[in-house]
Structure 1
Amino acid sequence: MNSFAILAACEASARATLVSVYPVLMYRALGSAASVSEVYALVGLTGLLCALGVPLLARYVPRRWLYTLGALIMVAGSVLGGFFDVRYVPYAVAATSVGLVILAVCFNAYVMDYVERASMGRNESRRLLFSGISWSVGPFLGVVLMDWHPQVPFLISIVACVVMLGFFWYLRLGDGKVITKARRPPANPLRYIPRFFRQPALVGGWFYATMRSVGWSVYTIYVPIFAVKSGLSDQIGGLALSISNGFLFSTPFMLGFLQKTSVRRAIVTGFAGSGVLFAGATLISAFPYPAIVMLVTATIFLVLLDVSGGLPFLLTVKPSERTEMAAVYSTFRDVASVGSPAFARLVLVFAPVQGVFAATGVLLIGCALVARRTHPGLGRRRH
């Protein structure tokens, strides 16, 4: 399990160092938050199309080479972003997105092949621990190093990818375990979409996960831009992201809150708290430092949603349909990656960048009202 945690930590290092660098560079290259939104929407659409195409590609390309391809595409993205003209930054972001999709598909397949089901929980917690350090340090370190020398964050990302790839080949995972050929073709997940949307608990889980991802996406992209537009240092946005990612280490306390109350209470609290603080940050946006502090505080509630938002799906899906329903459920990431910047672009037609925080806050508060319809006994132990 340590091997997979190390692979995940290398990938997190490659991503975290650039996550706060890219929005600032794109804002400098394109000159407006609206243009940045358009690029991120196109990048999200590219990632969605790639996610749909990777399983087909995996039928013809051995998994070890597909994983290698994903890592090399990420390296190519860092080279484009760090060593070419700033106008190539959008292409660098797109390459990084495509590489990550390929790596995620292969990584998850290896985990399912080599980690026993009884050990999945320990493997996931170890992965979060190893990766959490990178996510807590990387965003702030990236912008600090960018101000010192613009190519250094990209060099760190390239080195992390190379180390990850070298360790992957050292592990000799090959193409995964050989599985006996099925007697019938696997079910098409698309056939399960109508059945998925006939089950309110599954739809609720998908909706909560999507809206939580929208909140995180708006925060990640637009807080650094808001800081720069307000005349603050580039480093403020990176510091805000690092602090927010540090809240991931508070998840044991949030699990305690969840167990003492209920899934419904946790989800309602997460959406209401983050929504109120997002909207409140807009009201005090003339004072950028307090506004950013309020936005950072809002992410505590987004982390609570990370802990609780997926439980309506996990606790109610039928065991016989887990694989197919999980394929439908996992589309929340792709929907959020396309929908978040598209939503922000629409808001930016009528308001400055702080208006995006207000609109997101209203959206999250609306989700809290919807979440009140979640069954009050969901997740509680039966006596």
Structure 2
Amino acid sequence: MLRNRLPLLEFPPPRPGVNAFATLAACEASARATLISVYPVLMFRALGSAAAVSEIYVLIGCSALACALGVPLLARHVPRRWLYTLGILILIAGSVIGGFFPARFVPLAVAANSIGLVIVAVCFNAYVMDYVERASMGRNESRRLLFSGIPWSVGPFLGVLLMDIHPQIPFLISIAACLVMLAFFWHLRLGNGKAITKARRPPANPLRYVPRFFRQPTLLAGWFYATLRSVGWSIYIIYLPIFAVKSGLSDQIGGLALSISNGFLFLTPLMLGYLQKTGVRTALVTGFAGSGALFVVATLVSDYPWPAIAILLSGTLFLILLDICGGLPFLLTVKPSERTEMAAVYSTFRDVASVGSPVFVRLVLAFVPVQGVFAATGVLLLGCALIARRTHPGLGLRRH
């Protein structure tokens, strides 16, 4: 006798694409955003001075740089899916150390957080290049920005707010976001990326392209702009909360300011329109000059902390403009045949900024208090605006 059989229902994983990677990015943003304003406050409480915080961040930056250089070598022996998983587990370990261990272990938690982020970022970018078509890269970036905008806008203030209610809550939120990210990653079944044919020759060592990179003025300028922009953001994120606490304000102020700054991300369509009308050179000069001038003015009124913080907050609007246009000199002028190798050299701007920022701050703090750091940073940004005036005026403008 034949039995009626119900067909088995299959639930295939979602096709890896723009929305899937934007969701992964949103999970990562949720894990990072709740702690990004918590760690500077905890570091300052544990170490007692801004100078000591700078010294620790130098060591952390060096460890992250070494990890970034070592990830490609590690990827030759560890499958990418397990390497990505390892990065998430290191992020979770950092949150456990920061939230459940004594305060003296906070620097170790920050180091684990930085190393985990480096591993996750390298693997994430590799997956994106495998599964997202080149024609969809722009849409992928805009969707990633949209999905991550809310966590970055809410998370920094929420983190310091919840820290005052219970110090472990921000870390529990970060751990939960990491677990969701890990579960969704394995649900996507990305594996080790798409299979590719064996290369006819071994991959070129990016170090061989360093001299050629720095002999090309436009590529060097793009790297320099990206580095200075990252320095500006790093100093704002780390030292604004310290300035607020030393000025007698609540330790929640830094998180609130960072949340508002990240809320400016939703203005990027307007900034993109400005960039398309005026060109890259004008946008670069405007971004560096505006942020630099406001950082200097904030130092001049630092005896009044509320106006100073408001002015610094306004300066980040110009830093976001630099986020949009700072990398375009590189992207628009690099030779197609050298994109991979030159991109490896260009990407070092993040690691150089993560090491250079605390070194720069430590030198400044030897002569002036913490508010002087913003003036020194403003002078650097203003100097970069003068250099940006030498950018080709037609760069980024549509040709008719």
Q: TM-score range by the shorter chain?
A: over 0.9
Of residues 223, 243, 253 in structure 1, which corresponds to 2:260? Answer: 243
Residues of 2 paired with 1:49 and 1:320: CA distance? 28
1:352 and 2:369 matched: yes
1:381 and 2:398 matched: yes
Residues of 2 paired with 1:67 and 1:7: CA distance? 12
1:276 and 2:289 matched: no
Residues of 2 paired with 1:381 and 1:130: CA distance? 29
Contact 2:285 2:386 survives alignment (8 Å): yes
1:212 and 2:229 matched: yes
Residues of 2 paired with 1:221 and 1:28: CA distance? 13
Task: Look up the SS of the partner of 2:194 in the other structure.
Answer: coil
Q: What is the Cα deviation at residue 123 of structure 1?
A: 1.1
Task: Give the equivalent residue in structure 1 for 2:77.
Answer: 60
Q: What is the Cα deviation at residue 377 of structure 1?
A: 1.1
Residues of 1 paired with 2:138 and 2:273: CA distance? 17
Residues of 2 paired with 1:262 and 1:105: CA distance? 31
Q: What is the Cα deviation at residue 84 of structure 1?
A: 0.5
Q: What is the Cα deviation at residue 280 of structure 1?
A: 0.4
Residues of 2 paired with 1:126 and 1:372: CA distance? 32
Which residue identity does 2:256 align to in structure 1?
L
Of residues 208, 228, 236 in structure 2, which corresponds to 1:191? Answer: 208
Q: What does 1:88-107 correspond to in 2, within 5 Å?
A: 88-107=105-124
Contact 2:160 2:255 survives alignment (8 Å): yes
Q: What is the Cα deviation at residue 8 of structure 1?
A: 0.6
> How many corresponding residue pairs?
383
Which residue identity does 2:303 align to in structure 1?
A
Structure 2 unaligned segments of length 5 or more: list them: 1-17
Question: Could you tell me the TM-score, scaled by structure 2's length?
Answer: 0.95
Q: What does 1:236-315 correspond to in 2, within 5 Å?
A: 236-315=253-332
1:156 and 2:169 matched: no
Q: What does 1:81-120 correspond to in 2, within 5 Å?
A: 81-120=98-137
Residues of 2 paired with 1:86 and 1:170: CA distance? 36
Residues of 2 paired with 1:108 and 1:201: CA distance? 24
Task: Give the equivalent residue in structure 1 for 2:342.
Answer: 325
Residues of 2 paired with 1:9 and 1:113: CA distance? 19
1:153-190: CA deviations, max 9, x gaps?
00000000011001111111111111111011111111
Q: What is the Cα deviation at residue 3 of structure 1?
A: 1.1
Residues of 1 paired with 2:138 and 2:20: CA distance? 15
Which residue identity does 2:42 align to in structure 1?
L
Task: Give the equivalent residue in structure 1 for 2:187.
Answer: 170
1:24 and 2:41 matched: yes
Question: Could you tell me the TM-score, scaled by structure 1's length?
Answer: 0.99
1:10-45: CA deviations, max 9, x gaps?
111000000000000000000000000111111111
Residues of 2 paired with 1:309 and 1:61: CA distance? 34
1:329-373: CA deviations, max 9, x gaps?
000000000000110011001111001001001111110111111
1:343 and 2:360 matched: yes
Which residue identity does 1:217 align to in structure 2?
S
Q: What is the Cα deviation at residue 197 of structure 1?
A: 1.0
Q: What is the Cα deviation at residue 101 of structure 1?
A: 0.5
Task: Give the equivalent residue in structure 2 for 1:202.
Answer: 219
After superposition, the CA RMSD in angstroms is 0.6
Contact 2:277 2:397 survives alignment (8 Å): no
Residues of 2 paired with 1:320 and 1:76: CA distance? 41
Moved over 2 A (4+): none
Contact 2:287 2:318 survives alignment (8 Å): yes
Task: Look up the SS of the partner of 1:234 in the other structure.
Answer: coil
Q: What is the Cα deviation at residue 115 of structure 1?
A: 1.0
Residues of 2 paired with 1:206 and 1:71: CA distance? 29
Which residue identity does 2:73 align to in structure 1?
L
Which residue identity does 1:245 align to in structure 2?
N
Task: Look up the SS of the partner of 1:321 in the other structure.
Answer: helix
Task: Look up the SS of the partner of 1:379 in the other structure.
Answer: coil
Which residue identity does 1:188 align to in structure 2?
N
Which residue identity does 2:243 align to in structure 1?
F
Contact 2:247 2:305 survives alignment (8 Å): yes
Which residue identity does 2:217 align to in structure 1?
P
Q: Give the number of the structure whose alpha-carbon radius of gyration is greater.
A: 2
Range 256-265 or range 92-101, more displaced: 256-265
Residues of 2 paired with 1:17 and 1:254: CA distance? 27
Structure 1 unaligned segments of length 5 or more: list them: none
1:307-336: CA deviations, max 9, x gaps?
111111111111111111110000000000
Residues of 2 paired with 1:349 and 1:119: CA distance? 48
Residues of 2 paired with 1:310 and 1:235: CA distance? 32
Which residue identity does 1:57 align to in structure 2?
L
The share of aligned pairs that are identical, in percent, is: 81
Task: Look up the SS of the partner of 2:252 in the other structure.
Answer: helix
Residues of 1 paired with 2:387 and 2:193: CA distance? 42
Residues of 2 paired with 1:110 and 1:309: CA distance? 24
Q: What is the Cα deviation at residue 260 of structure 1?
A: 1.3
Q: What is the Cα deviation at residue 124 of structure 1?
A: 1.2
Task: Give the equivalent residue in structure 1 for 2:13.
Answer: none
Q: What is the Cα deviation at residue 381 of structure 1?
A: 1.5
